[in-house]
Amino acid sequence: MNTLEFRKLPQLSYPVNEAFNTLSTNISFLGRDTKKLMLTSSRASEGKSFSSLSLARKLAERGKRVVLVDTDLRRSRMVSTYGVKFPQDSKKYGLSHYLAGIAEQDEVLYKTNVAGMDFVPVGRELLNPLPLLSSNRFQALLDRLAEAYDYVIVDAAPVGVVIDAAEIAKYCDGILLVVNYNQVHRQELIDAKAQLENSGCPILGTILNQVDYDGFTNKKYYYKSHYYSYYKAYEKGADEKGADEKKKG
């Protein structure tokens, strides 16, 4: 298997770390048939890639075999944001190359420097990836990965921006919707929820981003959370750069 390195893995603050511990624990109770989990959002820059990577890392820390699949073929930020370094002289094949028949599964699947977590990068970005994401070849890839791994974490494009995530969801076992707390309009969430429900894939819960832990109410909700993971993340521009430290005062 090819190898690559995540050189800029985000450092998780205490509340963020505990939130993802809670989330990974809850996921472990979903049963053996829930293995292909898709993360999406209603808008761009809500922290879905950070959430996907952090969840995959936490599941791997629990001794699970995990593969993270980047399916945001239009505008992925995973490689640039987290400093993914491919082997020297590598062809840098990814999902788009596989779906186009240019590469095979073993050429797009990489072992990473995160123990227990492998990775399928996007490869080349595409203007219209929907026909490829709707193909039997893509479904077959996810099914084979689900046979080989305990969990397949699928990082998908924002469902409120393009329809790709709703198509990908048809091949998954469950959906986690990443939401910026107090920033996304209610109607946006209603529309995103409706699109995802049309896929037939169940929405397992919501990951709330930008929650202020200094407030008593938020702390109370955090410790009572079930399928929800509350955390505060710092983002700059369109990049998803991981979690910020807890605010003082």
Output the pLDDT for position 209: 81
* Distance in angstroms (rounded) separating the CA atoms of residues 216 and 122: 41
Output the pLDDT for position 136: 95
Q: What pLDDT, in 10s, does the model give residues 108-138?
A: 999 999 999 999 999 999 999 999 999 999 9
Output the pLDDT for position 231: 34
* Distance in angstroms (rounded) separating the CA atoms of residues 140 and 235: 34
* Distance in angstroms (rounded) separating the CA atoms of residues 36 and 152: 5
Q: What pLDDT, in 10s, does the model give residues 23-59?
A: 999 999 999 899 999 999 998 888 899 999 999 999 9
Cβ-contact 235, 47 below 8 angstroms? yes
Mean pLDDT by 10 residues, the chain (249 residues): 95 91 94 95 89 97 97 94 92 96 97 98 94 96 98 95 94 95 84 93 89 54 37 36 43
